[in-house]
């Protein structure tokens, strides 16, 4: 990592169907082995499944699911005098969104089931309803930050 200057922010283009940057970010997180068309198919089919279940606007479903899975604090390891402390740090909105998307995708991949479309659709539905593994992971992160609140002065 360069110590001289901060890297330039990459501009993420909105996806072609919903014209949403958030959807495009999720598609890029799903992406494996450079197969973007497959990632798009997985995303659009899972959003269609979520829309049929919840009967609401698909972008609204996605926004609320991501908001419910977005953490406010993060733990960073700091080495002070030979000991390593987990220091809770408040995070910016973009970083929180990125972490929430990662939580959603990892939780969907861990779900039992046959195909990624149904697993991701169910995870989005669960995150929308404030249940599911991605929301549990966020709450777990918040509990750990609360536990390590004593080390907040090591920022």
Phi, psi of 131 (to 5 degrees): -130, -170
Report the pLDDT value the prediction gives residue 100, as an integer from 0 to 100: 96
Q: Answer yes or no: is 5 within a domain.
A: no
Nearest Cα residue to 141 out of 64, 94, 75, 90 = 75
Query: Is 118 part of a structural domain of the chain?
Result: yes
CATH of the domain at 52: 1.10.455.10
Helix pair angle (116-128, 36-54), 10° resolution: 50
Q: What are the pLDDT digits (tens) for 58-92?
A: 999 999 999 999 999 999 998 888 889 889 999 99
**Domain extent for 119:** 21-154
| Residue 57, pLDDT score | 92
Domain contains 62: yes
The 3-state DSSP class for residue 39 equals helix
């Amino acid at each position: 990592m360069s110590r001289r200057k901060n890297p330039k922010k990459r501009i993420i283009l909105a996806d072609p169907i919903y014209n949403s940057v958030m959807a495009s970010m999720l598609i890029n997180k799903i992406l494996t082995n450079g197969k973007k068309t497959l990632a798009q198919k997985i995303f659009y089919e899972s959003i269609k499944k979520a829309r049929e279940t919840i009967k609401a606007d698909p972008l609204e479903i996605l926004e609320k699911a991501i908001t419910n899975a977005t953490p406010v604090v993060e733990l960073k390891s700091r080495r002070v005098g030979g000991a390593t402390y987990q220091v809770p740090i408040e995070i910016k909105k973009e970083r929180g969104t990125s972490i929430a998307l990662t939580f959603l995708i990892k939780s969907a991949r861990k779900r039992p089931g046959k195909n990624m479309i149904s697993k991701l659709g169910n995870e989005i539905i669960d995150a929308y309803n404030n249940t599911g593994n991605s929301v549990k992971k966020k709450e777990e992160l918040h509990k750990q930050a609360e536990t390590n609140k004593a080390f907040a002065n090591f920022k």
